[in-house]
Structure 1
């Protein structure tokens, strides 16, 4: 059976999900969420001509010839309007304060000296006016954030500066995370000689939370269909993510357990590494299930390529994945028949060039390598050997 490409697998997954109902959300609870409606400016920002520096508000005509100007008042941020500056006059002004009527220039305080009720300008007109014009950042009614965009602290600041206390976000998906394997033991507990700690569930819970979802990590299931079904039964979720049990061995019981519930497989494997066993299904009620490989590196690479876009889609957004380019800091051999996503470190040289160094050992069980990686280097199927300095595609983790 020919396995689908990453793009084909992701398209099949996204086509099978529908967005959740949107909700009005306070800004303080919207980080990581997806906008369901655009954010428009409620007024201009700044809403008045404002000073960009501490200094003196004057007329350009008076600055051009140098002058001794009469001080007529003071303008501070948040102060009352009504102050005006006429010919031969100046007003003390502070950063962020409204420019008095008639003024069109700010002389910075270092270029002037006060002499009683007058200010003496000690320099001619410079290249900058130090005036922030009304609407210089954005205008009333302007779309500042499009529907579907993922909110972050900078975008929340933009929404707040536009006057919004709440925004309409896509529904927050509840994500149940089910690790699987007899070999697993929870961190903090005593591990047997042939057991390993459950690293995938905490990592994926953090990934889900950063992508705007609500994670619920379930107890890890044994390699037993009844145990798997008992853990799923009665759990409320919008998306189920399983870890492990994704292959076709005698101990891989997750897919058979879900098939017994009536799950319909839409993707079964993908032409990629790490992560070939990834799969996707829909339960009879339409809820999606994403099956991830058990090795943490495989699971996290698949989370970047599939789980992130799925979480965006159910929140009404679009995938954020944007491949960039960098140059290799060391040569790479030719690639095999599958997309290869190599964990790598990236550095920016003094020349501004971004150079990536893939780790020499790409074994998908190596959590230490994943923790050191800044980017994933994508090597297409059958890519020829790449010399030092060759340009490659890179993907920065979405977390």
Structure 2
């Protein structure tokens, strides 16, 4: 099978992907980061009454059309404790922010523009130093939203602002789109979990934890299938588990090539997988497998850590985001090279790099010295991937390049 371009591979992985039709109801305090499954109408009017926007005095604007009007203070209105009477001619009510505007009043004069007057007989009076205008410093009932108003549309990502609005509209539970279930399987006799004792020749399975974090950040739910050894029986059992748990995507890590010990592709084909492709013209990440097994999407990532994570950002993250009903993240930016790079070969290169930001906001991409695809420390130090298209000519320092933001 010939190498295919990165853009073509992405189109084939995500081209027919769409938000999942499944939905579920969750408590409001568990809805952050989810996507609304249906329009969310307001269940109340906000504010439910005309309210004061400032601390001051509620008055009839007709009583203070000119500066210097003196009015009798007949009561107090505070948030949660309104004034039960009516403001009559020549009267004012001391009022605080959020309190209901008393009946009869149509204006609030801020306290800085008023002067309290002490009276020998104990009556309270206030002098209004400025002219009052009808409706000033008053929030009319329903100025934010009204009962029945569709405050949030289906498909809205429930970010902090949306969660706040849903709460204000009096929704303790929300209907949200189901998170795509992504089964993750590490493969290889040499792998052990963090904390397990290592025998000679064994290493820690780390890729699956990075990929799981990527899936969760993109809006997916992780089904950890653990580690499958290099046997058809172990792989067959893992496939059964993914299918039995109704996974939407099965991600395998390692073993997707065609070497003597690369059994993942063989196991998938034996179960009836329709193989789409398994080689991409990119570096790192050439042996990426994509296929379908009934309704299960299968993505076989390379075993080298940097290769696995680069493919995760390029192909898995956008796939999960689309299935979750989110916008596929746009991580591409423009930057200037800190130093020259040699001409590239026929494979699109993703070089680990660091970004530096100048005072004017210009980004400079600094390629890291070590680019081996097995180096996790280097990948953790990088905050971008410098993209070198196939057959790109030599690029001098200062040349503009595309970079893919990490994290």
TM-score bucket of the superposed structures, by smaller chain: 0.7 to 0.9
Judge conservation of contact 1:247–1:277 (CA < 8 Å) in 2. yes
Q: Residue 20 of structure 1 contacts residue 173 of structure 1 at CA under 8 Å; is this kept in 2? A: no
1:93 maps to which residue? 95
Q: CA RMSD in A?
A: 3.6
Could you say what secondary structure the match of 1:218 adopts?
strand
CA-to-aligned-CA distance 1:103-149 (integer Å, 9 cap, x gap)? 33451x455453342334567899x9655454554555554444334
Correspondence 1:206 to 2:206: no
Cα distance in structure 1, aligned partners of 2:66 and 2:399? 54
Say whether residues 1:14 and 2:24 are aligned partners.
no
1:281 aligns with 2:304: no
Contact 2:386 2:401 in 1 (8 A): no
Partner of 1:240: 250
Change over 3 Å in CA distance of 1:71–1:337 after alignment to 2: farther
Residues 1:361 and 2:348 aligned together = no
TM-score w.r.t. length of structure 1: 0.81
Secondary structure in 2 matching 1:65: coil
What is aligned with 2:106?
A: 103
Aligned 8 A contact 2:109 2:132 in 1: no
Task: Kindly provide the CA deviation profile for residues 169-199 of structure 1, in whole angstroms up to 9, marking residues without a partner as x.
Answer: 2223332210012332211122244332111
Q: 2:334 & 2:61 partners in 1: Cα distance?
A: 49
User: Cα distance 1:264–1:295, how it changes in 2: closer, same or farther (>3 A)?
Assistant: same
2:310 pairs with 1:328: no
**Once structures 1 and 2 are overlaid, which stretch shifts more, 371-380 or 189-198?**
371-380
Q: Are the counterparts in 1 of residues 113 and 128 from structure 2 also a CA contact under 8 Å? A: yes
Q: Is the 8 A contact 2:78 2:97 kept in 1?
A: yes
Counterparts in 2 of 1:247 and 1:53: CA distance versus 1, 3 Å = farther
Q: Give 1:82 shift.
A: 5.4
Match status 1:310 vs 2:311 = no
Alignment check: 8 A CA contact 2:157 2:326 kept: no
Matches within 5 A, 1:123-138: 130-138=137-145
SS at match of 2:75: strand
SS in structure 2 of the partner of residue 188 of structure 1: coil
Contact preservation (8 Å) 1:245, 1:251: yes
Q: Which residue of the other structure, out of 226, 238, 245, is the alignment partner of 1:231? A: 238
Aligned-partner Cα distance in 1 for 2:156–2:387: 25
Equivalence for 1:119: 126
> How many residues are matched?
393
CA distance in 2 between counterparts of 1:132 and 1:287 reads 53
Q: Which residue of 1 aligns with 2:271?
A: 261
TM-score by length of structure 2 reads 0.80
Distance in 2 between residues matched to 1:143 and 1:380, nearest whole Å: 46
2:41 aligns with 40
Q: Which residue of 2 aligns with 1:71?
A: 73
Q: Do structure 1's residue 292 and structure 2's residue 295 form an aligned pair? A: no
| Counterpart in the other structure of 1:155 | 162
Q: Are the counterparts in 2 of residues 265 and 281 from structure 1 also a CA contact under 8 Å? A: yes
Q: Structure 1: give runs of 5+ residues left out of the alignment.
A: none
- Contact 2:67 2:130 (8 Å CA) reproduced: no
Q: Which runs of 5+ in 2 are unaligned?
A: 119-123
How has the CA–CA distance of structure 1 residues 97 and 232 changed in structure 2, closer, same or farther, with 3 Å as cutoff?
Answer: same
Larger Rg: 2
Q: In 1, distance between residues paired with 2:396 and 2:129?
A: 62
Is residue 251 of structure 1 aligned with residue 261 of structure 2? yes
* Contact 2:44–2:148 (CA under 8 A) maintained in structure 1: yes
Contact 1:321-1:395 at 8 Å conserved across structures? no
